[in-house]
Structure 1
Amino acid sequence: MKLIKSVVVAVGLVVAMPALAAVELKSEAFREVEVTDKDGNKIRKLEALTRATPGQEVIYILTYRNTGKKAANNVVVSNPVPKELTYVAGSAVGANTRFDVSVDDGKRYAPLEQLTIKNTDGTTRPATATDVTNLRWTLVAPLKAGAKGSVTYRTLLK
């Protein structure tokens, strides 16, 4: 088993905001497990993850909160995808956000279907989820004082 510490990633928060606005960010890793409830129904729930094995899905939830007294404008939550993980295409979720990815370590962001990879022979091919190096959510509206939200995505441990 690999320790999940090797795949818990640094989360970046880029915020352009007025004085007195302060945004806190928390990153947590989970795995999805199936349990049986008291009525015998199988349900899926998230469980905190401390270890992961190759091929296992790792679910990240990034929670942000404006602890300041003013709205925070232009809030961007960005997250690198460690080399040990592969982003699961289409798994990113974030209400009231615009989601983009990078395939060049954060130099350029766009929707995955708009990105290409340059092959060694000089030709290009469409980028795929396995090429993703960074994720970015941009809030489409100011984050009011006291407001909070979260974004989530799934990865697979190589």
Structure 2
Amino acid sequence: MFNRIARTAAAVSAVALSTAAVAGGPLQITSKVLSETKVRAADGSTSPVLGPVKKVGPGDGVVFVLAYQNTGKQTIGNIVLDNPVPQGIAYRGPSANTPAPEVSVDGKTYGPLASLNVRTPTGARRAAAPDDVTHVRWRLAAPLTAGAQGQLAFKAVLK
């Protein structure tokens, strides 16, 4: 399982790097995949903690983090960050403190998950579910000024 998530992390990194290359400028993008584990506090409560992927298996949670920074001297506008969801991974939703992304079930049509449909093997249509998501996309609402940075993240599980 670790090898699968390691390959997944490499695939996401390659996508992020190609996005930066397409931008052809000072937009620097880095990506990483973190595992989500529950840590028990002294009072018995648990809270999720993100850390490096060590050992994961089917059903384990991971978080895909896309960090971006304008390393140039001018503002960059109209930034769209699109992250494919690798095979073997099931999308679960945006991470805490991350705006809801647009999602796609085919890599072409994007929108809120509730607005998307998928075709079944019989040719019928049904409402899309999180497991159907193939791409996650964010449009930055405001131009990114020189030196500005941020990060976006989504939760997923290994299938």
Note closer, same or farther for the CA distance 1:112–1:14 as it changes in structure 2 (3 Å cut). Answer: farther
Q: Is the 8 A contact 1:23 1:66 kept in 2?
A: yes
Structure 2 Cα separation of the partners of residues 93 and 124 of structure 1: 31
**Which structure shows the bigger proportion of residues in strand conformation?**
1
Q: Which of the numbers 36, 42, 55 marks the counterpart of 1:32?
A: 36
Q: Does 1:62 align with 2:66?
A: yes
Q: Is the 8 A contact 2:31 2:64 kept in 1?
A: yes
RMSD over equivalenced CA pairs, Å? 2.5
Q: Aligned residues: percent identity?
A: 34
Q: SS at the partner of 2:151?
A: strand
Unaligned runs of 5+ in 2: none
Q: Is the 8 A contact 1:14 1:75 kept in 2?
A: no
The range that moved more, 62-71 or 27-36, is: 27-36
Structure 1 Cα separation of the partners of residues 89 and 134 of structure 2: 9
Partner of 1:124: 125
| Mapping 1:6-21, distance limit 5 Å | 6-8=7-9, 9-10=11-12, 11-12=15-16, 13=19
Q: Does 1:81 align with 2:85?
A: yes
- Between the two proteins, the alignment pairs up a number of residues equal to 151
CA drift of 1:16 comes to 9.0
Q: Render the CA deviation track for 1:50-106: whole Å, top value 9, x for unaligned.
A: 442111111111110000101111111111111110001x335665x66211101x1
Partner of 1:113: 114
Partner of 1:91: 94
Note closer, same or farther for the CA distance 1:23–1:133 as it changes in structure 2 (3 Å cut). Answer: same
TM-score calculated relative to the size of structure 1: 0.82
TM-score calculated relative to the size of structure 2: 0.81
Unaligned runs of 5+ in 1: none
